[in-house]
């Protein structure tokens, strides 16, 4: 695989219902990556989240997925390593006074994203529910065969 460059993706998500039910409109968001070429793919290398407002106790978590359906049916920040479509998990907590206590982040090193990336999160804050995210990715030329195989795998379909 030939590297085509490194990218930084950052922004914020707003869990509107904040029930953690990722099927609720607004609780999962698409991050556009697809460049129209099925022979290129992104490898996510880093995923970090933190609460937008950290003046009160602000525990938050988020999940990255290769397919929208990888987030459907999960509630209250549930993170499932068993679901092949989930490729990144992160959480952060803060205490009053904007002091960060700790964070957790893991990204499946075998991930490749040909199309778009999906993110959903949960914020336990009593104030502002927005969650910041920071993602590092590297783009590769993978060829059409690997790209096609990856799209099938990312939708959690049987390839064997």
Domain ranges of the chain: 2-154
pLDDT of 15 = 74
pLDDT of 159 = 46
**DSSP-derived secondary structure for the chain:** -EEEEEEEEEEEE--SS-SS-TTSTTSEEEE----S-TTEEEEEEEEEEEES--SS---EEEEEESSGGGTTT--TT---TT-TTEEEEEEEEEETTTEEEEEEEEE-TT--BSS-EEEEEEE--SS---EEEEEEEEEEE-HHHHHHHHHHHHTT----
Cβ–Cβ under 8 Å, residues 84 and 112? no
pLDDT of 33 = 94
Distance CA 5, CA 32 (A): 17
- Alpha-carbon separation of residue 153 from 38, 49, 90, 160 (angstroms): 14, 26, 22, 10
Kindly report the CATH class assigned to 2-154: mainly beta
pLDDT of 25 = 47
pLDDT of 81 = 81
Cβ–Cβ under 8 Å, residues 45 and 136? yes
pLDDT of 70 = 81
Mark the ranges of the chain whose per-residue pLDDT is less than 50. 20, 23, 25, 158-160
pLDDT of 129 = 79
């Amino acid at each position: 695989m030939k590297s085509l460059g490194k990218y930084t993706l950052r922004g914020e998500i707003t869990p509107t219902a904040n029930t953690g039910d990722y099927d609720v409109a607004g609780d999962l968001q698409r991050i556009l990556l697809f460049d129209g070429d099925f022979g290129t793919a992104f490898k996510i290398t880093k995923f970090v989240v933190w609460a937008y407002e950290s003046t009160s106790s602000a525990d938050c978590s988020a999940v990255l997925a290769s397919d929208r359906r990888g987030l459907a049916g999960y509630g209250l920040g549930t993170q499932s390593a068993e679901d092949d479509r989930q490729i990144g998990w992160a959480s952060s907590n803060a205490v009053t006074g904007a002091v960060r206590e700790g964070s957790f982040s893991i990204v499946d090193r075998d991930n490749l994203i040909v199309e778009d990336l999906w993110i959903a999160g949960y914020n336990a804050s009593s104030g502002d529910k927005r969650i910041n995210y920071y993602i590092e990715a590297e783009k590769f030329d993978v060829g059409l065969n690997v790209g096609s195989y990856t799209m099938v795998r990312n939708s959690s379909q049987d390839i064997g």
